[in-house]
Amino acid sequence: MLVGCSSATRSPAAGSSDPGGLALKDGELRLESALHQLDLIEANIHSLSGAVGDPVAKCVKREPEVIARGLAFRLVIGKRGMQEKAAEMAYYRLLQERRPDELIPVVYLRKYYHEGLLGCVLDSVGVSQKDAMAESEVRILVGSNFEAETGDGLVMIDFMTHWCVPCKRMAPDLEKLARSYKGTLRVGRIDVDRNMSIAERFGVDVFPTLIMLKHGKEVGRVEKLLGYPELSRWVESELRGPGSPSGEAPRGGEQRKAESGG
């Protein structure tokens, strides 16, 4: 698990130049949408890491296209000789600190690398990428749309960070939940590192934290990774009446927020 990343964030610099034309009004939403897709890709790769013959390791070490894409990502993050773990840590620090216009090209390059890795792995196990990736039904939450997306109806919010390994692993199950209960439940993800004021309002310092809202009011909370069956039971219990998957909110989250300056 990746730990020790600072959860501090900076506001976008006013009047900063934007030579790439990426500082759009919905820059945060665009950034987080790309990061969510990346989390799904990484979760798919992880699910195949235990397949016969370890196709993930083979693709990382032997597939020239995958190696080239990984090198390109590390060159953007740091330098040619940077080790993979160091590049990961540097990347997650950037996600916490930089503006969307600075981050979107980096995230797209990382996504390009992982798409190549996933494609190689899927080819190895005989699965098509089209079958592996479905269109997202999870709402991407940021400061500008949070109130509109969560103020009415039944909403499950995943308070997460992109360095949290359990958060990534739960993303596909949240997608499945959103598809299964479409029209009845909205499922959203919010990046705590870039939306700390909202996390503080809800008292969130454990990742992942799942909070169920009904008409904008909290009716349940779970501070750990849940699989689809547990998520579905929780939704069913809320549709019937108040409660959480076990009748009370379990405690003991998977990853805690790092101390300031960590």
pLDDT given at position 79: 65
**Are 51 and 104 members of one domain?**
yes
DSSP string for 142-164: -TTTHHHHHSSSEEEEEEE-TT-
pLDDT at 236 over 90: yes
Boundary of a domain, candidates 107, 132, 157: 132
Cite the active site residues.
Answer: 164, 167
pLDDT given at position 133: 59
Domain assignment of residue 9, yes or no? no
Q: How far from 195 is each of 80, 198, 201, CA to CA, in Å?
A: 32, 6, 10
What's the one-letter identity of residue 111?
K
**Are 204 and 159 members of one domain?**
yes
Which distant-in-sequence residues (6+ apart) come within 8 Å of 74 by Cβ? 80, 82, 84, 87
Over residues 124-133, the mean pLDDT reads 70
What is the three-class DSSP state of 222? strand
Domain assignment of residue 1, yes or no? no
pLDDT given at position 170: 96
Closest CA to 5 of 115, 130, 163: 163
Q: pLDDT tens for residues 74-99?
A: 888 876 667 778 888 899 999 999 99
Mean of the per-residue pLDDT values of the chain: 83
Q: pLDDT tens for residues 28-75?
A: 999 999 999 999 999 999 998 888 889 999 999 999 999 999 989 988
Number of domains in the chain: 2
Domain assignment of residue 224, yes or no? yes
**Are 231 and 160 members of one domain?**
yes
Domain assignment of residue 91, yes or no? yes
pTM of the model: 0.82
**Are 158 and 247 members of one domain?**
yes
**Are 108 and 190 members of one domain?**
no
pLDDT at 245 over 70: no
pLDDT at 253 over 60: no
Domain assignment of residue 61, yes or no? yes
Enclosing domain of residue 86: 27-132
pLDDT given at position 221: 96
**Among 79-93, 158-172, 191-205, where is mean pLDDT lowest?**
79-93
**Are 101 and 181 members of one domain?**
no
Over residues 124-149, the mean pLDDT reads 83
pLDDT at 217 over 90: yes
